[in-house]
């Protein structure tokens, strides 16, 4: 029986035992369209992680109580509406 870890760590579709899975891996790793899809997915994940980090920064700034909302917007890069919503959510 083949372990899931094998498929996750396998870098060459030719080494995979299951044709359908190998075809999908080949598509995402070797075709221009597949590579573009994966690049967009990775960029979306990076942007989401960055946004979550900036929300954490904004929450700490709100908790400190020393910063105006506009300062939090300028430092975090979040919109004023997002910072206001964080403030509302924090106080609930």
In a domain, 62, yes or no: yes
What percentage of the chain exceeds 70 in pLDDT?
Answer: 88
1-5, 61-65, 72-76, 83-87: which range is least confident on average?
1-5
Contact, 63 vs 87, CB < 8 A? no
Q: Work out the number of other CB atoms within 10 angstroms of the CB of residue 25.
A: 20
Count of domains observed in the chain = 1
Q: Give me the pLDDT at residue 7, please.
A: 61
- Mean pLDDT over the full length of the chain: 88
In a domain, 19, yes or no: no
Q: Which of 89, 87, 62, 85 is nearest to 75 (CA)?
A: 62
In a domain, 23, yes or no: no
The parent domain of residue 76 ranges over: 49-92
Check pLDDT > 90 for residue 71: yes
In a domain, 56, yes or no: yes
In a domain, 83, yes or no: yes
């Amino acid at each position: 029986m083949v372990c899931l870890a094998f498929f996750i760590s396998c870098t060459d579709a030719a080494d995979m035992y299951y044709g359908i899975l190998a075809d999908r891996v080949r598509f995402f790793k070797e075709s221009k369209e597949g590579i573009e899809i994966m690049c967009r997915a990775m960029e979306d994940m990076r942007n989401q992680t960055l946004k979550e980090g900036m929300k954490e920064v904004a929450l700490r700034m709100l908790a400190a109580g020393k910063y105006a909302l506009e300062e939090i917007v300028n430092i975090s890069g979040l919109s004023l509406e997002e910072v206001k919503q964080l403030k509302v959510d924090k106080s609930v």
